[in-house]
Amino acid sequence: MAKASCTQEWIEAFVYVDVNARNIPISNGRAEYTVRRIALGARHAFTVLTSNDFVDSGGGGSVSSEFFWPSNPRWQFLPGRDTLPPGIVLPTGECSDGSGGDTDAGTDRAALVAFYNTTGGANWTNRTNWLSDAPVGQWHGVTTDASGRVTELDIEENGLTGPIPPELAMLSDLTHLSLWGNGLTGNIPAWVGPLSNLEVLWLADNQLTGQIPADLARLTNLTHLNLSDNELTEGPIPVWLGSLANLEQLNLASTSCTGTIPSELTDLTNLTYLSLGNNQLDGTIPSQLGNLSNMGRLYLTSNQLTGPIPSELGNLSNLERLALDTNQLEGAIPSQLGMLIGLEQLWLHNNRLTGNIPAELGDLVNLTIIRLAGNQLTGCVPLGLQRVAENDFDDLGLPFCSQ
């Protein structure tokens, strides 16, 4: 679409309208049309309709395009809605005050209003200050920077419903998007990909469907990604996740993942937390996971993993919790796990492990939980494990070693 020039007549036409009116007739002498407020409180968000299509009484009307009217003024079309009716030309992102960028605090407010309306804001548990005249930084769950741009949207366990609206793509300074514990539906939005400043994306515990969009591979600044406990389509773990070099926490538990654990994940050297539990993963545990020296918590529970427990996991000197239970792992428990001096929880139950319990596990003085039952272990329980408060030794049916 051709970029329109920035003309004073267009600026005046929109600056001097009554922004409190719902339907506003506008004419620049060449074309007549109507701007319509998308929602109450969205003072800078309008829908453009041709005058012939629009019906004042509220019936029908074909939406020709939607755009935001920031207050500086600058213009920015919503993604995929950049086609105007014949005879209508609007300034776009190139028509600006020279300060750079296509969005501003006014755009952010309009995006939040659309988010509120789309996700059933009237029924939220906490909607403090939403749609009020208070600065958006005082709206529940919203954080802004010194210029009033939205940097964090953290609205968890708040009764949100419906899809995540594309208007949030306008929050170009967003670093945190956390909407876990709600009733959101629809796909994980691909438009999140262009939010290049995003560091935290938490959409866990909703009712999201579809696949994990490949557009998320563009989030090179992402440090935390949590999509767990949704209703995603069965499919393999995307290998492009291994390109998110800054990722520190990755949680894909209960997301219907199938296939093997991609070796590309072992390139994420900053990982401190990896949870892939409660899926349908098969194959073996990659031994290269032992190279992730920053790993503090590794959860692979409740899959269909086979083969031995890699001895290389003993190299994870910062590991505090290791959950490999409820799989089909075979062979002996590696004695190298006794090198995990900071380990607090060890979950190996309900596998097909055989042989003796390594004596080295008795040296894990920080252990508070250990689960070993549901295997075919033999011999005795190392005496040092007597101090572990939570255990399943009664179900294990083995005596303690004499020394």
Q: 143-197 pLDDT, tens per residue?
A: 999 999 999 999 999 999 999 998 898 899 999 999 999 999 999 988 898 899 9
Q: Which of 15, 60, 12, 52 is nearest to 32 (CA)?
A: 52
What's the CA gap between 141 and 147, in Å, rounded?
A: 18
* H or E segment and range at residue 77: strand 76-77
The dihedral through the CA atoms of 133, 138, 139, 142 has a sign that is: positive
For the chain, the maximum distance between any two Cα atoms, rounded to a whole number of angstroms, is 98
Q: Which of 350, 376, 346 is nearest to 360 (CA)?
A: 346
Asked whether the beta carbons of 209 and 232 are under 8 A apart, the reply is yes
CA–CA–CA angle 245, 250, 326 (5° rounding):
135
- 104-126: buried (b, 16+ CB within 10 Å) or exposed (e) per residue? bbbbbbbbbbbbbbbbebeebee
pLDDT below 50 — which residues of the chain? Answer: 1-102
- pLDDT score for 103: 52
Give the CA dihedral 159, 160, 161, 164, nearest 10 degrees: -160
- pLDDT score for 107: 85
What's the CA gap between 199 and 222, in Å, rounded?
A: 4
Amino acid at 303: N
Structural Rg of the chain based on CA atoms: 28
Residue 96 backbone dihedrals phi, psi, to 5 degrees: -140, 180
- pLDDT score for 104: 73
Domain ranges of the chain: 1-102, 124-396
CATH homologous superfamily of 124-396 equals: Ribonuclease Inhibitor (3.80.10.10)
Strand 249-251 and strand 32-37: the pairing is unpaired
- pLDDT score for 251: 98
- pLDDT score for 167: 86
Residue 375 backbone dihedrals phi, psi, to 5 degrees: -125, -170
- pLDDT score for 90: 43
